[in-house]
Every structure is written in C-alpha cells, then in structure tokens.
Amino acid sequence: MSQVVGYELRGNIGVITVDNPPVNALGKDVRAGLVAALEQGLADDGAKALVLVGAGRTFIAGADIREFGKPPAEPSLPDVITRYDEADKPVVAALHGTALGGGLEVALGCHYRVAVPGTKVGLPEVKLGLLPGAGGTQRLPRLVGAQKALELIVSGEFVAAPKAAELGIVDEVIEAESPLEAGLQFAEKVTSEKRPLKRVRDQEEKVAADRGNEALFDEFRKGLEKKARNLFSPFKIVDAVKAAVDLPFDEGMQRERELFRECLESPQRAGLVHAFFAERQIGKIPGLAADAKSREIKHVGIIGAGTMGGGIAMNFVNVGIPVTLLEVKQEALDRGLAVIRRNYENSAKKGRLTQAQVEQRMELIRPSLDYGDFADVDLVIEAVFENMDVKKQIFGKLDEVCKPGAVLASNTSTLSIDEIASATKRPEDVVGMHFFSPANVMKLLENVRGEKTSDEVIATVMSVGKKIKKVPVLVGNCYGFVGNRMLHKRGAEAMTLVNEGASPAEADSVLTGLGFPMGQFAMSDLAGIDVGYLIRQERRKAGEDVPASWMDKLYEAGRLGQKTQAGVYRYEEGSRKPIPDPEVDKLIEEFRKEQGITPREISKDELLERQMYIMINEGAKILEEGIAIRASDIDVVWIYGYGFPAYRGGPMFWADQVGLDKILDRVKEFHARFGDAWKPAPLLERLVREGKKFGDL
C-alpha cells in the first residue's frame, strides 16, 4: 500500500486519505496512490460510496511544483482524474484548508464536493506561468460559465467556501468536526437517497449558453492586453476556456494539454516557479539559534508621522496592533493623521473598507508628543529623515524610556545600524526595518541585522514582518543594504549613459522592455529629483568624487519630478505618464558642451547591459560579503521592492539565464573602458571559472 495515500472502510463508506505533508501536493507517489486506493475502494463490496480527504492542515494544494521541468512520470494527473470521473460508485471530495490547482481539479473530477467552513479553493496556476492542466479549464466553465471561469483562472484568486458554494464549485458547506465527518455525512446522504453520479464533464448547459459568443472572449483578451501585456499564460488560459465552450469535452481536454505544455516549456514558468520558492526560502536563516523565540508585539511606537511613518503605522493597525505615533510638533502630528485618514477614506470610497472600519483603525492610532508614551511599547520604529546625529539622539532617548526587551528599529535606508545602535546600551535590541515607499502598499521589508543584533530580535522582526503581510528579507548592514545599493549603481550608470549620448527615454525603454513598470529616470521623477541631488551633495561634502551631472541642473531649474509636473520628463495635470521634454534635451546638450562630450549613438544592447550588468556585478559583491544570505533573496528584494518582473525570476536568476560568462566578458570590457565602477566581482569571476551559476550557490 502507498505510504502517502491510504484506504479504509468506515461503515459502508470507503475513505481515501492523502497524507503527504506539508500540503499533500500531487507528486508521482500520490498520483499512483490515488489510483491504487480508488481501485481498492471500487473493488470493496462493503463500500457503497467513496470519500476523498486530505490529512493534516489541507486538502491538496496542487501539483508538486518541484516536479515541473523534470521528465514526466506516470500516471499523469489528467489520467488519475479520469479514473475518478469514470468511477461507478459515487466519489465525494471533502475539502478543508486549501484545494488549489491540481487539488481542485481532482475535486472537480469527483462526483460531489463538500467543504468545511474556512476552506479556500482556486486555480492559481497562472501565478506560476501555467494554466490548469488537469481539466480545470474544461470543468470549471461547466460549473460557473465562461466569463466567471476566465476571471477566476486568469486572476488565480482564492475563493472562500460560502462563495464557492454560491458559484456551484462545491455542492455544500458543512459545519462538521472534521472534513472526513463532513464527507461521510454527505456520502451517507448520496447513498441513502440513491442519487445518480453527477459528472461535471456531462454538464453542458453553461458552456452551451456561451457557444458562439465571440465577443466575450474578444473583450476578455482586450482587457488582458492592458493588464497582462507581457505575460504568456493568461492568453493561453483564454484559448483553453474557449476550447471548453467550442469543443466536445475530450477534445477540449486535448487542447488544454497542448496549451499546458506550451506554458510548461516557457521561460516565464521557470522564472515564476523560481520566484515562488525564493519567497519561501527567505524565512530560513542559517545559523540562527534554534531556540531563538520571537518576542510578542502587542503595541508599537513609531517616530515620525511623515509619509513613511504614517504608511508604516497603517501596516500595524491594519492587522489590529495599536500604534503610538510620535512627532515633535502638534501640526506635524495633525498633518500625518490627516493623511492616514484620507488614505483610509479613499479605501472606503472604493468599497474596500466600511466607514466603521475606518474609524476602528484610526482609533488604534494614539498620537503623542511625549517619549514617555513609549514606556511600554514592544517595538519602536524610527522613521525620521536621514541624519545620523538626529537618529543617534533618538536612540539614546529610546534607551532611556523603553522597557527592557523592547525592539528598537530604524527605518533608515542607507545609514549604519551599528552606529545607530552605539547610541544605546542595548545594541542587541537594535535592528533595521527598512520599508519601501509607499510603506502601506509596497510588500518588501528589508530587515537589517546589525553586528550585535540578537537572534531573538531577528526572529521577532521576521515574524512581525509576516504578520503585517510584508515579504521580510534579512540583509546585512552596509550602505543602501541590498536593494538601494544595487539601485544606486544602476542610477549612476544610467546618468552616465545620458552624458554619453542616450536620451533618458531611450535608457528607460530598455528597462520597461525587460518588464520593469518604469525605467530609472521615471523612477527618479517619482521619488523626487531633490532626493538624488541631496545624496550627491552629501557625498561631495564628505569628500567623495561624485562628478557633476546634468541631473543637478534639473534640481537647479526647480524640476523636482512628478510633484512639480516636471523632472526628467514632463507630466500633464493629474497624469503620471512621463513625456519626454525638449527642454530637458536642451539642458542635457548644454551639459555635454560644458563637459566637452561629443554625444554618440548607444545601441539598445549596450543600454540594457550597462544598466543591468552593473547591478548583477554589485549583487555578486553583496553575496560575497554576506549582505544577502542567498542569491534568491536578492531576487525577492527586487521583485517586491522595485517591480522586477517576477516572470523573469529576479535579477540574479535572470543573470543565470543570460549566462554569467557572457556577463563577465562585458563587465571586463566596461571595466577597461569606464574604470573602477565596473571592477568585476571576485565571486562572478569564480563562478565563471567553475562553470557555475548563482543558483548553484
């Protein structure tokens, strides 16, 4: 008997149990076990009906994602499901936890589906660059119609049990002690009432109603052109659902299979599967003491009610954790609170919150002008402007007022956590929590480990990050940490490319071509031209060799970016669309003349290589210095913090696909041409020498 799928008789019902922790994924042993257990149940004269159930925390979360890209192993999932579909005894799938992807497809191949409250179902294959390849695109439209099926499969949305029952995806939601109990109850009913076998494949009514409705599919495709232009699988999903409507079931299944294979072989599938596992790696921190327990965070203090502090506060109150928000002046506090309220009111207008919820959240924010109010907070996050002296003063104060064991965090994006910690007598409690703007929206959280930060504090900020629904990545302490350190390299290179002859729009277009939502210069306009200018000025003051730049002239001309409707680009009233501006071309030309630069044409390849490879080279240095734990952590930082297209897997995964040898050759060439900024990372050289990739580390 299979280790992962069991069979037993309960009264007159045969029970098939999938037991493959953690999520009962449908690996080859489970698939074989499902067939064997079904055969046993069908041959068992004592069993009048069969119940299929998952052991542990969930029904079945889908195909085993680790098998994609490997040679297929028999039996295939569609074949397994056909066996269930064709069974001559009623089979009831009893769902709990999640029934996702192949898991829901198995359930759709059973004759009945029941769920306990709290269950979620969905076909999230699209998030992995796939489409449901075991009948999901053929059976779901037969239950919910083509339009709803398209919406659900293209979004990959999870549907809660009551809604699933309303849509007809499950037959009944049953309040029972366990999913098994729910399944047994329903199976008893089916047998005692002698209900006929109800096969989804035979339910023609909904698809017949959509037959010939070309407009439905054309409209849906048009919507995708806007929302998912660069993606491969959403368009294939439309083809597959259309096949469900146009073709007899078996031919539709055939078509789904072909389309599934196309997706399986696409580079986007490889990138998205990498991103899926990369995200699940971030919580694994080598060397962290096994007994490092996360401290309980029941009350948070935040210093600074500006854009950043306010956004950070919202994350906590959104999950019900009260925040004391501290400012130095009443006006600043009032302004900050008004912005938070406006954000919530906007969500209410869009129907995402009720007015009562807005009030509840506002009540969780306690405004304060007095550090004394931090006496019993469990975590403080300082979010004031980037000035070391100010931050040190604040941390000195926190050291005096906060209770022992409080976690003291700074939201600095560039400054040294160790130096900040030195202002306290408890550096082991000091850590960085670097949020990305807008902090209530962006998912990335770089948690910065100082030299003395304790394991317990690290465990705490990683777990609290998850609790507030961020993607927390642990990074080491250095200028700019992981994300901004790489970004600044790219920014400087982009500026140089324009010095040499490219237009800002040309430099940006290669990045949007790669799938970034915006290029370097559109991003500078969003962040504010003053931000980069002030950083360059600070570095000049500190004696660093930061060459003059045409971007300094933008600042001097008062072109501060989107906020003044003019920066590198110009912006029309109320629009965020960057429009190239001849004024800026003139300013760049002047700058080149002043510097004695004769502009040259720069190829698209060079524009892309210089902006991307400089980041990859820096990423390699970051890895070698241990600032990032693993290459895939850098990928997660870029996907969630800077909009790197997840379907390319992140910059380091992308580099592996391009070929590290090719990248190193160019890095060396640029080093010879442009000097030290391009010094090859020793790790990159070593990997090429050893014929390895970042993914092999």
Kindly state the number of chain residues that form the binding site for ligand 3H9, as judged by CB under 6 A: 24
Piece in contact with ligand 3H9 (CB under 6 A), picked from 48-56, 126-134, 521-529, 642-650: 126-134
Q: Nearer to ligand 3H9 by C-beta: 99 or 486?
A: 99
Report the C-alpha gap between 143 and 156 in whole angstroms. 17
Q: Nearer to ligand 3H9 by C-beta: 38 or 47?
A: 38
Q: Nearer to ligand 3H9 by C-beta: 280 or 576?
A: 280
486 touching ligand 3H9, by CB under 6 A: no
Catalytic residue among 67, 86, 105, 296: 105
The one-letter amino acid code at 149 reads A
Largest CA distance in the chain: 93
234 touching ligand 3H9, by CB under 6 A: no
440 touching ligand 3H9, by CB under 6 A: no
Q: Nearer to ligand 3H9 by C-beta: 59 or 435?
A: 59
Q: Nearer to ligand 3H9 by C-beta: 70 or 350?
A: 70
Report the C-alpha gap between 642 and 330 in whole angstroms. 34
581 touching ligand 3H9, by CB under 6 A: no
Report the C-alpha gap between 697 and 695 in whole angstroms. 6
Quickly list DSSP for 470-497: -EEEEEE-STTTTHHHHHHHHHHHHHHH
22 touching ligand 3H9, by CB under 6 A: yes
90 touching ligand 3H9, by CB under 6 A: no
- Binding characters for ligand 3H9, 625-664, by CB under 6 A (x = yes): ----------------------------------------
Among 40, 107, 113, 125, binds ligand 3H9 (CB under 6 A): 125
8 A C-beta contact, residue 545 and residue 531: no
Q: Nearer to ligand 3H9 by C-beta: 54 or 491?
A: 54
Instruction: With CA atoms as reference, report the closest residue to 450 among 485, 483, 415, 484.
Output: 415
Tokens representing 181? 């109990």
256 touching ligand 3H9, by CB under 6 A: no
Report the C-alpha gap between 488 and 491 in whole angstroms. 5
Piece in contact with ligand 3H9 (CB under 6 A), picked from 99-107, 239-247, 356-364, 588-596: 99-107
Residue 400: how many other CB atoms lie within 10 Å? 12
8 A C-beta contact, residue 417 and residue 424: no
Q: Nearer to ligand 3H9 by C-beta: 14 or 234?
A: 234
Integer Rg of the chain from CA: 28
Sheet of 112-115: strand order equals 5-10, 13-18, 49-54, 91-95, 112-115, 172-173
Tokens representing 557? 């001309």
Calculate ∠ Cα 121-124-129, nearest 5°.
170
Is 428 catalytic? The answer is: no
Q: Scanning residues 257 to 286, which ones bind ligand 3H9 (CB under 6 A)?
A: 280
Among all residues, whose Cβ is closest to ligand 3H9?
A: 101
For residue 365, the cross-strand partners are 323
Tell me how far apart the terminal alpha carbons of the chain are, to the nearest angstrom.
Answer: 39
Coil, helix or strand at residue 26 = strand
Catalytic residue among 39, 125, 400, 451: 125
8 A C-beta contact, residue 119 and residue 95: yes
457 touching ligand 3H9, by CB under 6 A: no
In Å, how far are 134, 292, 322, 359 from 347, measured between CA atoms? 38, 38, 20, 12
Least CB distance from residue 32 to ligand 3H9, whole Å? 15
Least CB distance from residue 133 to ligand 3H9, whole Å? 4
491 touching ligand 3H9, by CB under 6 A: no
Tokens representing 289? 């003491």
432 touching ligand 3H9, by CB under 6 A: no
Report the C-alpha gap between 244 and 232 in whole angstroms. 19
Supply the DSSP symbol for 570: B
Residue 288 CA, chain-centre distance (Å), reads 24
Least CB distance from residue 153 to ligand 3H9, whole Å? 10
468 touching ligand 3H9, by CB under 6 A: no
Least CB distance from residue 288 to ligand 3H9, whole Å? 15
94 touching ligand 3H9, by CB under 6 A: no
Report the C-alpha gap between 368 and 320 in whole angstroms. 19
Quickly list DSSP for 646-671: GGGT-HHHHHHHH-HHHHHHHHHHHH
Q: Scanning residues 178 to 197, which ones bind ligand 3H9 (CB under 6 A)?
A: none
8 A C-beta contact, residue 671 and residue 680: yes
Among 14, 33, 101, 301, binds ligand 3H9 (CB under 6 A): 101
Report the C-alpha gap between 524 and 682 in whole angstroms. 31
469 touching ligand 3H9, by CB under 6 A: no
Report the C-alpha gap between 122 and 142 in whole angstroms. 15
Q: Nearer to ligand 3H9 by C-beta: 129 or 476?
A: 129
23 touching ligand 3H9, by CB under 6 A: yes
Least CB distance from residue 276 to ligand 3H9, whole Å? 7
301 touching ligand 3H9, by CB under 6 A: no
Q: Nearer to ligand 3H9 by C-beta: 134 or 161?
A: 134
Piece in contact with ligand 3H9 (CB under 6 A), picked from 83-91, 97-105, 381-389, 671-679: 97-105
Say which residues have a Cβ less than 8 Å from residue 279's Cβ, sequence separation at least 6: 471, 636
8 A C-beta contact, residue 154 and residue 65: no
Q: Nearer to ligand 3H9 by C-beta: 279 or 429?
A: 279
Please name the helix (run of DSSP H) or strand (run of DSSP E) that holds residue 219, with its range, or none. helix 214-227
Least CB distance from residue 134 to ligand 3H9, whole Å? 4
Is 188 catalytic? The answer is: no
Q: Nearer to ligand 3H9 by C-beta: 269 or 610?
A: 269
Q: Scanning residues 48 to 87, which ones bind ligand 3H9 (CB under 6 A)?
A: 61-66, 77
Least CB distance from residue 296 to ligand 3H9, whole Å? 21
Please name the helix (run of DSSP H) or strand (run of DSSP E) that holds residue 278, with its range, or none. helix 267-281
Coil, helix or strand at residue 360 = helix
- Binding characters for ligand 3H9, 127-146, by CB under 6 A (x = yes): -x-x-xxx-x----------
8 A C-beta contact, residue 305 and residue 336: yes
Among 16, 25, 272, 663, binds ligand 3H9 (CB under 6 A): 25
474 touching ligand 3H9, by CB under 6 A: no
Catalytically active residues are 105, 125
What residues make contact with ligand 3H9 under the rule CB under 6 A?
22-23, 25, 61-66, 77, 98, 100-102, 105, 124-125, 128, 130, 132-134, 136, 280
